[in-house]
Structure formats: structure tokens, C-alpha cells
Chain A
Amino acid sequence: MPDAKRYVRPYGDTTGDGMIQTSFTLPIPFGPKADGAALQLANKMGMDPAMVVHSNPIGDDFTFFVVYGSVKHLVDLDEVKVVEREYPLLSPTEVNSALKKVLRRKLVVVGGCIGTDAHTVGIDAILNIKGFAGEKGLEYYRELKVVNLGAQVSVPELVRSARTEKADAVLISQVVTQRDAHILNTQEMSAAFREAMGDRRPLLVAGGPRFDPLMAGELGVDRVFSRGTTPGEVASYLVHAMQEKKGVAA
């Protein structure tokens, strides 16, 4: 077997053809000049040759394009950096028995949407018994005590609840991203916990569709979960983090 591929290009219907498809709108009236403009943009994006296979006007001032073409760029897989899951995915039973062993009590999770965000769909998918993607939410786990504070929880309220409940982990969800609200809110939250509790702060976990898992450091949290995360992944992470904290081998 040769080594795993290091360099790849997009695949249309032949290895190495580099073919991609894209669509966009330009703020210019429909016509030959618009098509030419789209072609120029495609070329600048590295598509060469590019074909404007479709264009149509949207109102008087805009034109929509569909473009196919071959890109010159190569992907170097050695340079790709992602957060790979460094812990095993556990079933609810495994999570429960592992937690029992590490903590000898229930693990307390406090969760909510902070800031003005009223979209509880994310936090509810993780916490509510109903769950997500066929997996039951954290409420379903016998060894987890879940306190879901719901929507628009203020940071002081979250810190207070985390304290009263003696939370081991705090989960916050951010769906709304206008003007980077999700980033600013999360940073405010992690700063508040650092200030109020220092090293004794609970595990901080942020989740939301527009978060990048690489942002944990920047956000001041222990872990970031992005689009498509299931309750099982979060529960498995909590077990892993607790084991690390107590110095237990996984």
C-alpha cells in the first residue's frame, strides 16, 4: 500500500480534474457584460477554465450565476488542522457507570442560552430528554443532574445558578451570530466564571452551529461543539474531562 494521499484536488468525474461548481450574485444588470464579470470573478477565484453555465436577472440591478470550472489549487492534507475527538464515544450506560466510578455522585450540568439569544433549539437538543438525531438528551442519563435555564439567561444569573447547583459543567448555546454576538457573549461568560470562581470554576462548554471547535482558547472555554453535535458526544466528553481532572486513566 502506498502512503495515504497528501495532495488532493476536487473530483468532478475524473481523478485530478479539479472541477467545482459555485453560484453567486453580482450587483449588475443581466447581460453579456454581467456574464463576463462573472467569468472574471471565477478566474480570480482560481477557476480556469470556468464556464458560466447559467445566469438570470434578479430584478433590474442584480444577476445570478451558476459557474462550473476547474480550480488550480491543491489541498495539502498535512496542513489541515482540526480538532479530532480524543476520547471514546460511550453509550449512556457506559457514561453512567464511568461517572459513578469517578465521582461517586451525580455530575451536575447547568445549561442555557446566554445574551439575548432566545433560540433554545440547540441547548434543548443536547439537554432535553427528547434529544437529537435519535439520541436521548442528557436529562436521560441517570448519573447526570441537568438544570436547563432556558433562553436569555444573563451571565450573572448563570454564574449564580452554577454556584447554587454546584455545577461540574456549564453548557451554553449560541445560535444568533449577528455582529459576532456568539463570540462576545461566550467570552463575557468565561471571563465572569474566571473572575468569580478562579480555578474552581466548572468545566465550560460552548455550543452552536457557527462555532469553530478550534476557538476554545480564544473563547476561554474548555470545549467548543459545532453543528451536528449529538448528546452522546457531549456526555462522552464530560466523562473524559472528569477523568482527566481526577487523574484517572480513561
Chain B
Amino acid sequence: MALLDLDPSVVATARKLAARAAEPVVSLAKAHTTVAVERATLRLAGITGADSTHRAGDVPWVNRVIDTVREQCGLEHGVVLPAFHALRENNLGTLTELAEATAAGQIQFRIPTGKDLTAARKASTSAVSKGLKAVDRNRAQRDKLITKWGDPAQRPWIYLIVATGDIDEDVVQAQNAARAGADVIAVIRSTGQSLLDYVPEGATHHGFAGTYATQENFRIMRAALDDVSKEVGRYVRLTNYASGLCMPEIAVLAGLQRLDMMLNDSMYGILFRDINPIRTFVDQRFSRQVHARAGIIINTGEDNYLTTADAVDAAHTVTVSQLLNEHFAHEAGLPDHLLGLGHAFEINPKVPDSFRLELAHALLARELFPDAPLKWMPPTKHMTGDVFDGYLLDGFFNLAGVLTGQSILLVGMMTEAVVTPFLSDRDLALKNVRYVLNAAGSLAEDFRPAPDGLIVKRAHQVLGEAVDLLARIVDDGLLNAIADGTFGLMKRPAHKGKGADGVVEKAPEYFNPASEMLEAQGA
């Protein structure tokens, strides 16, 4: 269906440059671990629950263990060796018992040697592989349910957000949304969760502008969507956020509770949450390996660049980020069909030919990544509060989505930036999508942009600018480019940002059975 006649050699150059730009960062990611990666590993090995007696409120057991191990013998060897050695040495049955004993100050962690080392390696490998097997079973179960209930009848899949703060209310809204036509439900997280260095526990009812991501909330929502999937006769997918300081742990919990898609961007945390760049790249790599194992579709966050930078001037930074996200994802073992690369309809509607420019950008993404389930994000920046204007803009957004063959369409709300959507706003938004799908769902068949027209020329121009920028990033180094404000105009130096103290350089004897097993799957 190639409509843009992109030069394959330019595309190949773009990919080669992205790989070269990413290379030093991948080495950096391999050479380090983080508190979050170690916690994710222990979660795979079976630790659950929280210390409810702690004065700081519920502190997950896994945080207690990691913090104590770090204090007593450092994390450069990984957490599993001291943890599983202590388990055996103290004759404890489970990691949770170990955590309780740790909290009581009864455990002295140390790095085992000789026979003890062999035993700790073996025990931890067996525990972690049990966790990965649970992830594998969930993946198989998803496949089975999709076969049984089916995929959505149409592309793009219709993606809707719920965000009440209370998981029980979320369930009601999500089930209603599915009945009204939603194929994918995303539960927005509570504001601020991305900067918590622990994952809250249990079912939660008081979030701010969203609901906390917890293992129990994941389980509740997945079960509710299974019920409604059965009712509507298609498998309704569940999305959450593997981002922020707990990205690897959230990825593990998603795998353990059969979530289907996760927001997971290689640079979002750095740029928009001021999280330390190295922390992010290390956590990113591990979380993507877990997603690859779980068969989870990642959603990348390129739409965000356009909310801070100008959508025309910065169009090529979206392409660059997509190419980098693609490379990092492939490197972590994610195949094309799990790459929900993002982009957005954010050009100022007052710009002449804005719709044609949107089509050019959307088509460029489509043709650069033909096998990726692209995620098409609605206007937010130019939603003014005039809901009537907004409704029209969302209609054009929907049209651009079907015309350029986008795969996942996040339903735009006319109340964007005004209030959380009313029941009726969501209903109207879905009506808008249904009308466009019904009226123009197959229009792509008749859509042939003129070979020397604005759309084709613009797409070539953006790709050219992307290649130039990638070349500069290769020369300058990706970390420097991020420090200089190349993406979304945010300047983020490599040594700064939140969570930097959670990064640890691996010792040569570093051992992590999860990493070893996940690494093997990518090869």
C-alpha cells in the first residue's frame, strides 16, 4: 500500500543511525542494575505483601528486603544471592517470612561463596522461573480467550480511559465502556504514582485524577473485563502504565495479572517526570524484556513531545523517538506486533492545511512501521474548552486515523483539559468514532495522495529531518542530546533527576536469574 514512495535507503539509514545512537545506552543499561530491577526480580521470585506496621504506612515487603540488603552488603551482586542465602541459612520457608524477619532486624545479609553460592543460585533460579512460568501461563490464557471470544471486528481498536480514583467505580465505568464499544480500557494512574519508589498494595479507593496501579487493582479489573468480554463476545484488553520509578515491578505485576498493553516509553520518564536518565534506561530494558515474555503490547509516548513542542516544527522528533523506541524494543526482544508506537493529532487547527499535515505525519509513521500496532492519540493541546469546536476536531482526528490505517485509536474527549469526561461526553465521543468508522472506515482504499502533493512532500521532509537529527544524536551521544533539550524541549542531564541514587553498577559476579532467562529469550 506504499503511498509515500519513501526511499528504502533513507529508511535503512534512519534505522542504522537509531541503532548506533542507542548502542552506548544499551551498554550502559547492561552494566547497571537498579533498586527497581532487583525488586521486580524478587517479585518474580514470589514475594508479596506489605509491612502494615511501619510508621510510614504500608511499605511493601520487597522494599524492606532490598533496602536492608543494600545497606548490609550492597546491590552490585544482585539481591537474589544474599536473599536466598539468608532464606536457607535462617531456615525460612518463603521470601515473605524472610521480609518479616528482616523487618524485625533478625537477618544479617551477606554474599554467599562456594557451596552456599551454588545453593543460592539454584534456589533463586527455581523461584524466579516459577514466576516466569506464571507469566507464560497468562500469555497462553490470553491467546486462548482471544480464540474463544475473538478480537475486535474492526481496526483501529477503540481505546478508552477510565480514571475515577476508586477501583470499584473504575470497574463500573470500564464495563459500561466495553458495552458501548471500547476494545481497550486504560486505567489512568493516580497523579504522582510515577514518582513513588514503591508499588502500593491492595485494592485502592482514593487516587488523585486516577487509580493507583497495584497488583490487586490489576486483578480486579482484569476479572471484570473477562466478565464483560464474555458478554460482548470479544476480548477486551486492559492497559496500565509501566513507567516511573517502579517501571520494572509494574511490568512484572502486569505479566502476573494478564494485562494486555502497557504504556512504556524509553524516554518519557526522563523528559516529563525528570527521572534520572540512566535509571530510566536500565529499568526500561528490563521492563521491556518482561513485556516481551508476557506478550504485552507496549504503547510509547511520542504524543507527549507534541504537547510541549510545536507539532509541525517538532514532527521529526516524533519520528526519531519512534525509531529509537523501535530499536530499544527489538533489542529487548519485543517483536513488531507488540510495538504500539505512539503519535498524535496535535497541530494547531489554525495552521493552514493542518489536516493535510496530520495525514502526512500519520502516514509516515504507518509506512515506516508497517507491522507495528500504531497508537493514534487525540488532540489535547488545542482543545480550548469550546466543546463544540473540540467535537469537530475529534471527528477529523478519527478520520485521519481510519484514513491512514492506524491500529489503536485513543478516543478523544471534547472535555479534554476541562473536566473529567461526563458519562454523556464519553458516549458522544464513541458516537463520533462509530460515525467515522461507519461512514469512512474503508476510505483508505480510495485514498491516493498525489505523488508530488503536499502530503507526500511533507512526509519526505519530516523523514529527512529525522535522519539529520539522528546523525547529530549519533555524533553528540543520546545522553547529551537529552541533556540539551532535543526532545520536547526538556533539558535533562545524565547525572541528575529523581531516582539516581537507585542506580548500581553491576559487579562481575552479579547474578540475576530473571535477567539471564529473559536475555536468553531475546537471542
Contact = CB atoms under 8 A, between A and B. Distances in A.
Contacts of A118: 191-192, 194-195, 273
By size class, the interface of chain B is: 20 to 34
A178 B309 contact: no
Interface in A114-130: 116-121, 124, 128-130
A84 to B, nearest CB: 21
Nearest to A177: B209
B489 interface: yes
Contacts of B190: 116
Contacts of B209: 176, 178
Contacts of A151: 195, 273-274
A124 B423 contact: no
A161 interface: no
B472 interface: no
Interface stretch (A31-39, A57-65, A165-173, A191-199): A57-65
B392 interface: no
A181 B190 CA distance: 13
Interface in A89-123: 116-121
A229 interface: no
Given A121-B307, A130-B489, A178-B208, A58 B191 contact: no
A213 B274 CA distance: 30
Contacts of A120: 272
A25 B422 contact: yes
B192 A117 contact: yes
Nearest to B497: A150
B195 A152 contact: yes
Contact of A59 (B179, B208, B308): B179
A23 B425 CA distance: 10
A150 B498 CA distance: 11
A58 B424 contact: yes
A128 B417 CA distance: 20
A117 B274 contact: no
**Chain B contact residues: over half helix, strand or loop, or mixed?**
loop
A227 interface: yes
B449 interface: no
Contacts of B308: 121, 124, 128, 130
Contacts of B195: 118, 151-152
A64 B309 CA distance: 38
Interface in B393-423: 417, 422-423
A25 B309 CA distance: 37
A121 B346 CA distance: 15
A58 B489 contact: no
B378 interface: no
Of A25, A58, A118, A176, chain B has the most CB atoms within 10 Å of the CB of: A118
A23 B424 contact: yes
A142 to B, nearest CB: 19
Interface in B294-333: 307-309
B192 A152 contact: yes
Contact of A117 (B191, B307, B422): B191
Interface in B178-202: 179-180, 190-192, 194-195
A58 B192 contact: no
Interface in B322-365: none
Contacts of A29: none
B180 A116 contact: no
Given A116-B208, A124-B308, A130-B489, A62 B194 contact: no
Interface string A1-40: 0000000000000000000000111000000000000000
Contact of A58 (B272, B309, B427): B427
Contacts of B165: 178
B489 A116 contact: no
B94 interface: no
Interface in A69-94: none
B388 to A, nearest CB: 10
A121 B308 CA distance: 8
B233 interface: no
Interface in A154-205: 176, 178-179, 181
Nearest to A150: B274
Nearest to A120: B272
Contacts of B208: 116, 176, 178-179, 181
Contacts of B307: 121
B385 interface: yes
B176 interface: yes
B440 to A, nearest CB: 22
A116 B424 contact: no
Contacts of A24: 424
A58 B427 CA distance: 7
A116 B165 CA distance: 14
Nearest to A62: B423
B192 A25 contact: no
A128 B191 CA distance: 22
Nearest to A24: B424
Contacts of A116: 190-192, 208
A64 B180 CA distance: 15
Nearest to B384: A228
Contacts of B385: 227
Nearest to A179: B208
Nearest to A61: B176
Contacts of A130: 308-309, 489
B500 to A, nearest CB: 15
A118 B194 CA distance: 9
A132 B309 CA distance: 10
Contacts of A23: 424
Contacts of B417: 209
B270 to A, nearest CB: 12
A59 B180 contact: yes
Contacts of B192: 116-118, 152
B424 A25 contact: yes
Given A25-B422, A59-B180, A119 B489 contact: no
Nearest to A119: B191
Among B179, B208, B308, the one with the most A-chain Cβ atoms within 10 Å of its Cβ is B208
Contacts of A119: 191
A221 B209 CA distance: 25
B178 to A, nearest CB: 11
A110 B179 CA distance: 48
Nearest to A56: B427
Given A124-B308, A151-B274, A64 B191 contact: no
Given A118-B194, A151-B273, A178-B209, A128 B179 contact: no
B386 to A, nearest CB: 12
Given A59-B180, A120-B272, A130-B308, 8 more contacts: A59-B179, A64-B424, A118-B192, A129-B489, A130-B489, A176-B208, A178-B208, A178-B209
14 contacts: A25-B422, A25-B423, A58-B180, A58-B423, A58-B424, A58-B427, A64-B424, A116-B190, A130-B309, A151-B195, A151-B274, A152-B195, A176-B191, A178-B165
The 5 closest A-B pairs by CB, nearest first: A116-B192, A25-B424, A64-B424, A58-B427, A176-B209
